[in-house]
Each structure stands twice: as structure tokens, then as C-alpha cells.
Amino acid sequence: MPDTPRALPFTFGGALTFLLIGIIDAGRALSGVDLPPAQALIIIAAVLSLWALCGGLLGLIVAGLGALAFGRGGLSAAIQRLGLRLRDIWRERGRPQDQRRAARALGWMIGVTSWGLGAFFSLRHLIEHRHGAALIAGVALLVQAALALGALLLGLITARLARGAARLPGLGRLMGVAPLLTLSLTVGLLALGLLARRHWATLQDLDGVALSLLGLALLLSPLGIGLTRRRGGAKRTALALTLALITLGLSVQSQEARRALAAEGSAARHLYGHLILMSDWDEDGIPYLPTGADCAPFDPDIRPYAPDVEGDGVDQDCDGRDGPRYAPQIEPAPAPAPAQRDEIQPNLILITIDALRPDHLGVYGYARATSPNIDAFAALALRFDAAYAADSGTAPSMWSLAVGRTPFQAALEDLGRFPPKLGAIEQTLAEGLKGVGYRTEAVLCGAVFADKDWNLSRGFDRYVEVCGKRKRRVAEPTVEAALIQLKALKRRVSKPFYLWVHIYDPHEPNFDHPEIDFGVRKIDLYDEEIRFADEQLAPLLTAATEAGRPTYVILAADHGQNFGEHGHSGHARTLYRNVTRVPLLIRGPGMEAGQIAAPVALNDLYPTLLELAGAAIPARCTMRSQAAVLKAADPGRLIFQENAFARPKRQTRAVISQRHHLIADLTHDFWELYDLEADPGETRNLYGRGVPEEATLKAALSRFLTTSQLPAAYAR
């Protein structure tokens, strides 16, 4: 047991320090969100109480560990001894013993820094090249051992050289601990600032801001403890923690507060996510706290929206009754009239552009001249104004398109890695086309496509990732390789072909293109990347529409991009419109230019291309062919989406109609409903405000959830 009176300053000081840092996170949680003042205050209360509670608990843990390590009151004594030692070191500055101490410290700093950099780059290489977890662990042990030995030798050499340098005239006074620490701190801060400036998008995606806030809180905690040593009485400390716990418990009863904690805050979403996931005792992905959503917290087969078998006496889906609330199957939407197939099998060319938002293209109304060549292509194409990806990440979006199902309707294997393999039961688009005589080839750019173990390549006669380690201006080599393959494919006039080309450039990090110069903001660089990709695409778009036999050319994207409208991650973590709406342009024989306003799914391309090729559409396909729509009107339908790759893990599902977007966070038990016509930026949550279509969409999404189950390996 910690010495209670001495533990109180740690508890109270930690809570106070974390509370103050939490103000920054509360501001980030409210940024870009249009909320009434009352809801904003609830969110602020939730974030601040969460930070204070975590800081207080951390202080209590530190005091407890200190008591175990140093005895009752020993931690405070150890801190006092440390302070006295630092005072002695300061008094000895410039003396020979200080110079020897500085040389040893410099050696350790150089050694640890070199080991850290080597460890980082070696592990990044292993992970980027998608080696298996066992191989990464095995190689990492050997590599880290070699790096540690090299770092130790480098540190010893540095220390020896530093001791020699201390004897030189004029350097002796500079070779002390105080100047060394000052110089190190200055260089470190400058390096961190440069890193943040050059790689801000990467830091955002890797939760660098969250880690920075938590690190700042930890660094300042001793100051907070020092300031509250005489004020952290037992009653005051207990009252502060109790108040924080009650405030957090009451505030998270609000859906908006849970949404802000889970999606908008930087460090708060990690603190909150890990805190509530501690109550996921059956590891089914649905925590029991704070709303009791998991009605059987110790049984993984009973959870919200689980398949409920009627008549077995068990309420598997937590809706209060035995049997599903809605029919488990999705009611099929009215099917369009069959398309009139071409007598000659057409060539099929699919061009996807990574992270491309349609509202940043001229054809979709963007004022900046980002896409003159795409716009010229679109002038003779059919434009889909409401096309949506099944997820906001490249891998699940692409495997959904490849098999004609949503990400977790698809059969997945090898779930201990990402991306997972497609199950043998699934027929890929390339396999279906190859089965009716097509030559199938893919020219792709992106590290995820370079994964040799990902069987998205099934069915392709040739499947290549052409960018490798190159990061800048990658559209250029991609288009060059695609043009070479297209020329070779055209020579095989007796055989139709399917060519898939993936352009990477708009994906973050975005680089400056001085010859374009839209500005220096993040969104300006993004637009420059689009314009560069557009310029490189020009010869490919021209060559694609000049093929010998009838040819359908499709231009689309895998997902969109977030610029702070919803949270701070670029994409892959949410299902909002800005990260799931994609451009979709199709040109082909006998087609007239026009636009389709009704919603369609990006993975509708799976049955559409199979039908155009004269191939059978597998019964497992849950998407709808748009082949008839290319020459007629579309009655419209509902689009379903899934995401399970946020950090910390949470399960999000959504359904989109012509006008509304309903999003459900199953992990944190909150719902969002947006009117896409009146509020295309999705800033005003209308859930629970009497929108007539809400009940219909919720019923449809509930039915969909019974057809798609997140594999247990992902839920955990």
C-alpha cells in the first residue's frame, strides 16, 4: 500500500496537470463541429473529466509503485535525493568530474539515438514490405541485438573522443552536463519541429498529436505535483476524483459526448477507448460500459445485432425479444432492366486514383483548375454524382470491389495480418473475366498492393506494383508502365482485355509541385497532387478511348480524404461522406454523356463489368449491376458501408439513401443521421430529431448487420 498522505500529492497533482492539458484536447474535439452551446459544454465536461480521472489514477499508480520500490515515503525521499544530486551537478559545472560525466552522458546519448534510429528504420522496412508477424519478430531480435552492440561501441568511442576534446583549450568549459543538456534540448526541439512541419499528415495519422499531448502531460506532472504538495489533502483529493468520475459517467450518457470522445479528440479517443474496452470482458468488440449495450458481457455470442435464432429462448441480439426484430435478409431493391450486351466482348479499363475527392474535380464543380484532362474525359462520359466506397481505406475498399460484397460480407482468411486474404469461396472480378476469355492485367502503385501474400492478385495474368520505394511524382512511372501494357494488349485484337491502373499521388503525404503552385496549405498541396496526376493521365485517357474493339473506360477512386471536417485522421478511420464519396465516370460504346443522381456503390462495378463482359454474376454477390443504367435511368437504392480499422478499435457501420446518411458506432453506442441535401458537409446530427426516414434506414441497417459479421480476430 502506498503511504496514503504522501500519495495524495501525486494523485491530486496528476489530475490537475492532466486536466490543464485536456483543455487543448477539448478544443480539438470541438473543432469543425457545429453544436448548440449546451452540447458543446457536455463535450468539454466529458473530455476534461476524462483527462483529470486518468491523471489522478496515474498519479495514484506511480505513488503505489514508488512505495513498493522505495518503501513507505521512500518515493518522496528518492525525489528529494535526486534534487540534491542535480544541485551538486550544477555546482560542479566546468570541473574535471563534470567533464567526465558529460563525456559519458554524450556517449550514452549518441548510442541510444543511433540504436533508436536503426531500430525504427529496420522495423519500418520489415513492416512496409509486409513480412509476417513471426518473421518480423525473429529478424527484429537479431537486428536489434546487432544494433545495440553497434550503438554500445559507438557510445564508447564517442565518450573517449569527448574526454579527449575536453582537454583542448577552450572546449573544457563547454564540455559540462549543463551545456550538453541545453544543446541537446535545443537540437531535439528543432528536430521535432522540423519533423512535425514536414510530416504533419503522417504524424496525424500515426497519432503523433495524441502522443505529444500525453507526453506533455507526463513531463509537466512533477510540476503539478510540486505545486499541490501542501494542498492535496485526503478529502480534497477524494472529492476531485469522485467529481471527475461522476462528471464523466453523466456526460457520456450523451451520444454527442461519446461521438466526440471516440472520433474527434486526439488523445481523448485513446484514453476513452482503452478505458471502456476494459469492460469488453467477452472480447466481442462491444464493451459493457458506459451504456450497458452488451446485454451479456460474458458471452461473445450475445451482443447487439448478432444473428438471433427465433424459438431458441435466447435473445442473441439484445433487443429484448427472442428472434430478430427485422427479417434477417436484405430486401432486394428493384432490379433494372437487363442490359443489351454488345455482340463483341468489350475491353474494360479501370483507372482508380487514391484518396481522390470528387468535390476537388472541375467536373464535380470545383473552382480550382485541378483536373482539365479528367474534365475533358468526363464531358463525353456518364457521371455518377453519388458514388460511395464501402470503406474509407484502400484495402477494404479494393477487396470489396474485387468480390462484389461489403468488406465483412466477404469471406476472409489469415486474419492475423493486414490486409487479410480473400477466402477461396470468393470469385474475384479478374477470375470471372478470365473465365470468359479475357486477358487480365493490373499496373498498380501503392505499398499495400506490393504485399506478395495478399491474394487480391488472384485471376490476373500480370499483376505488378511499379512504384516501390518511390514516394514523389509516382503517377509518371505508373502511367508509363500502363501505356506499355495497353499497347501490348491492343495488339492482341482477337482477345478482349481487362486492365486495372491505380494512381497513388493524391494520397498523403502531399508534396509541393512548384510548377503548379496552388499555395502552401495542406489542401493546396493536395490539389497540386491532383493536377499533377491529371497531367500524367492525359496520354493514358487518350490511348484508352482509342482501343481497337469497343472499350469501356471507368475512372474512379478508392476513397476520399479528410481535411479536419471530421476528426484529424486523413481517412480509413470513419465513414463520413468526405472520406467515402468517390468520383465515378464511365465512357463506352453507345453511351451518351449525362449524370446519375441516385446513389451507387463503388463495388457495383463488380457485377457491372461481369455483365458487360457476358460473364455470370455469382450468387454470393450482394451488389447491383449498373450495366443497364449506362443506357437508361436508375431507380436508386441503399448503399451499405463498414469500417473497423480506427485506433483504438471500434466498429462503425452506415447506410446511405438518396438524401440521408445514417452512421452507427456499435462499439461506443451512438448514431448519427445527416441530411445530404441540406448539410452535405455532415455537420448537424439529426438522429433522434424526428426525421421520417430515420426508422426506415435504421431497420435497413439492422437487417444488413445480420448479413455481415466482423471476424473475431478483428473485433479483438
Question: What is the full DSSP assignment across 211-245?
Answer: HHHHHHHHHHHHHHHHHTTTT--HHHHHHHHHHHH
**pLDDT value at position 336?**
45
Q: How far is the C-alpha of 411 from the C-alpha of 395, rounded, in Å? A: 14
Residue-level pLDDT at 214:
78
Question: For residue 120, what are the CA distances in angstroms to 113, 127, 154, 211, 417?
Answer: 10, 11, 18, 17, 20
Residue 206 pLDDT class (50, 70, 90 cuts): very low
Is the pLDDT assigned to residue 340 strictly greater than 70? no
* Alpha carbon separation from 109 to 99, 103, 181, 283 (Å, rounded): 15, 10, 10, 42
Burial annotation 141-177 (CB, 10 A radius, 16+ → b, else e):
eebbeebbeebbebbeebbeebbeebeeeeebeebbb
Burial of 85 (0-12, 13-18, 19+ CB in 10 A): exposed
pLDDT at 338 over 60: no
pLDDT of residue 193: 63
Residue 398, pLDDT > 90, answer yes
Q: All 3 cell numbers of residue 444?
A: 498498380
The pLDDT value recorded for residue 150 is 73
Better-scored residue on pLDDT, 481 or 650: 481
The rounded distance, in Å, linking the Cα atoms of 98 and 87 is: 13
pLDDT of 686 > 60? The answer is: yes
Alpha-carbon span 497 to 485, nearest angstrom: 11
Cell numbers at 664, concatenated = 452507427
User: How far is it, in rounded angstroms, from Cα 482 to Cα 544?
Assistant: 10
* 5-62 pLDDT, tens digit each: 455 666 777 788 888 888 888 888 887 566 788 888 999 999 999 988 888 888 777 7
d(CA 677, CA 641): 19
Element (H, E) at 652: strand 652-656
Range from 187-191, 466-470, 535-539 that averages highest in pLDDT: 535-539
Residue 578 has pLDDT above 70, yes or no: yes
- Please check the confidence at residue 103 and state whether its pLDDT lies above 50: yes
Q: Looking at the predicted structure, is the pLDDT value of residue 167 above 70?
A: no
DSSP 428: P
> Which of 29 and 97 is assigned the larger pLDDT?
29
Q: In Å, how far from its chain's centre is CA 585?
A: 26
**pLDDT at 288 (0 to 100):** 87
Rounded CA-CA distance 653/655 in Å is 7
> Any idea what the Cα angle at residue 551 is, between residues 547 and 556, rounded to 5°?
110
Find out whether 561 and 579 touch, Cβ atoms under 8 Å.
yes
Q: What is the pLDDT of residue 14?
A: 78
pLDDT at 428 over 60: yes
Lowest-pLDDT range of 302-311, 531-540, 636-645, 688-697: 302-311
Least Cα distance to 346 among 617, 634, 621, 610 occurs for: 610
The sign of the dihedral angle between the CA atoms of 515, 518, 521, 524 is: negative
pLDDT in tens, 602-636: 999 999 999 999 999 999 999 998 888 876 545 56
Mean pLDDT computed over every residue of the chain: 82
DSSP single-letter state for residue 263? I
Share of the chain above pLDDT 90, in %: 40
Grid look-up 479536419 returns 564
Distance CA 196, CA 213 (A): 14
The answer to whether 683 and 34 are in contact (CB under 8 A) is yes
In the predicted model, is pLDDT for residue 203 greater than 60?
no
CB 111 within 8 A of CB 154: yes
What's the one-letter identity of residue 537?
Answer: L
What is the torsion angle, in degrees rounded to the nearest 10, for the CA atoms of residue 559, residue 562, residue 565 and residue 569? 120
- C-alpha–C-alpha distance, residues 371 and 261, integer Å: 37
Percent of the chain with pLDDT over 70: 75
- Decide if pLDDT at 202 tops 50: no
Give φ, ψ of 131 to 5 degrees. -70, 155
Residue 593 near residue 427 (C-beta atoms within 8 A): no
Domain boundaries, the chain: 1-93+207-271, 347-715
**For residue 179, what pLDDT band results from cuts at 50, 70 and 90?**
low
Fold of 347-715: Alkaline Phosphatase, subunit A (3.40.720)
Contact 248, 46 (CB under 8 A): yes
Helix then strand count (H, E) for the chain reads 20, 15
Lowest-confidence region among 232-246, 576-590, 684-698: 232-246
Pairing of strands 382-388, 600-601: parallel
Higher pLDDT: 259 or 480? It is 480
In angstroms, the CA 693 to CA 683 distance is: 18
Give the dihedral sign, CA 446/447/450/451: negative
Considering only 33-42, 359-368, 416-425, 482-491, which range has the smallest mean pLDDT? Answer: 33-42
Q: Going along 474-569, which residue ranges are E strands? A: 497-503, 551-557
Answer positive or negative: Cα dihedral of 106, 108, 114, 116.
negative
303 vs 679, higher pLDDT? 679
Q: Is the pLDDT of residue 345 over 60?
A: yes
Each residue of 216-249: pLDDT tens digit? 787 777 766 666 655 556 677 788 888 988 999 9
The CA distance from 494 to 345, in Å, is 10
Note the pLDDT of residue 479.
96
